[in-house]
């Protein structure tokens, strides 16, 4: 993947329960529960497998028109995953911005 293209992608934000923390304006929450949350648990499948399963699931949902991610284009996405770990939000960011 072209490094310049990657640097142009919107950011991923880690959700917090810290007092006073707020989701930045324009960011979209993609955590569970929710239609954009990863239905495949990291605890059950492991991080890499949960993300791979989500990627295949997303492809299927997009192909049958069950999910629309165009509204995510250009927006930062927020999930509970640590920023130094892979996350399903990374897949959503890439797919929404291609």
| H helix runs in the chain, sequence order | 3-7, 42-45, 47-63, 88-96
pLDDT in tens, 19-66: 999 999 999 999 998 889 999 999 999 999 999 999 999 999 999 999
Residue 1's pLDDT is 46
Beta-bridge mates of residue 78: 13, 29
Which of 3, 1, 10, 2 is closest to 90 using CA atoms?
A: 10
Do residues 75 and 8 touch, judged by C-beta distance below 8 A? no
Mean per-residue pLDDT of the chain: 92
What confidence tier does 2 reach under pLDDT thresholds 50, 70, 90?
very low
Q: How far apart are CA 12 and CA 34, in angstroms?
A: 17
Do residues 58 and 36 touch, judged by C-beta distance below 8 A? no
Residue 7's pLDDT is 56
Helix (H, G, I), strand (E, B) or coil at 4: helix
Residue 28's pLDDT is 96
Residue 66's pLDDT is 94
The whole-number average pLDDT for the span 2-28 is 83
Number of C-beta neighbours around residue 81 at 10 A: 20
């Amino acid at each position: 993947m072209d490094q310049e293209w990657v640097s142009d992608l919107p950011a991923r934000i880690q959700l917090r329960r810290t007092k006073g923390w707020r989701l930045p304006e324009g960011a979209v929450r993609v955590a569970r529960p929710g239609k954009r949350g990863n239905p495949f648990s990291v605890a059950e499948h492991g991080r890499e497998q949960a993300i791979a399963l989500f990627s295949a699931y997303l492809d299927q949902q997009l192909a049958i028109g069950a999910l629309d991610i165009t509204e995510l284009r250009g927006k930062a996405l927020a999930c509970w995953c640590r920023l130094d770990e892979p996350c399903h939000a990374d897949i959503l960011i890439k797919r929404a911005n291609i």
